[in-house]
Amino acid sequence: MEITTEMIKQLRGATNAPMLDCRKALQEANGDFDKAVDWLREKGMATAAKRADREASNGVVELYSHGNGRVGVMVELNCETDFVARNEQFRNLAHEIALQIAASSPKYINADEIPAAEIEHERGIARARAKEEGKPDNVLEKIVEGRIEKYKDEVCLLRQAYIRDESVNIEKLILQNVAAIGEAIVVRRFQRWELGESTTQA
C-alpha cells in the first residue's frame, strides 16, 4: 500500500512522533492507522511525544569548552522535576547536545524559528543554482524545496544528524531519552561562541 504524505501528517498529529518514524510505522503496519499508532507506542515514540506537552521548568545549564577554549557552548535543557535534573542520563544528554552544538554550529532550535526572510533568501539562492545547473523548469520548484529542507536540516539543532549516530537526528535522540526517563525534555535555548568571530552573531 502506498504511504501518502497526508497519512503521515495524520499519524504525526495523533502521536506527535517524528515524521520519519510515522512513515516507518505506517510501512510496518501496511497503512493501517491503528496498528501504526500501536507500533509507535511500542517503540516509546508516541508516549514520549505526548509528554512533551507537559511543563518542563527544571533542568540544567550545560557548559562545554572545546579545542582548548576555542569554542564554548552553553545550553539550557529542561525537564519536569528536580529529581530528573540530577539524573545521570539526563545530564549526559545535556552534554551530548552541547557537543552537537559545538561540532555542528546550529543557528536555531527548530525550523519555526528561522525568519521568513532568511528562508526566502535561501530559496532565491537555491533557485538560481538550479537554473545555473540547467535543471528543467518543471522540476525547479521541487529541487528548490528539497534544498530548503536540507538547509533546515543543517541550521536547526533538532533536525541535525546526531554526530555519534547519523541515522538518528537530535529530536529523535531526545525522544528516546524522554521514553527512557519518563518526563518531557525541552531544549530551551543555547549559545555558541567561537574565538575571534564577529560579535554581531545572534
The pLDDT of residue 102: 96
Q: Is the pLDDT of residue 50 over 70?
A: no
- Confidence grade of residue 21 (pLDDT, cut at 50, 70, 90): confident
- Confidence grade of residue 201 (pLDDT, cut at 50, 70, 90): very low
Q: What is the pTM of this model?
A: 0.69
Q: Pick the last residue of a domain from 51, 66, 87.
A: 51
CA distance 161 to 104: 9
Q: Pick the last residue of a domain from 13, 36, 51.
A: 51
The pLDDT of residue 52: 60
The pLDDT of residue 172: 93
Domain of residue 35, residue span: 5-51
| 182 shares a domain with 142 | no
Q: Is 199 domain-assigned?
A: no
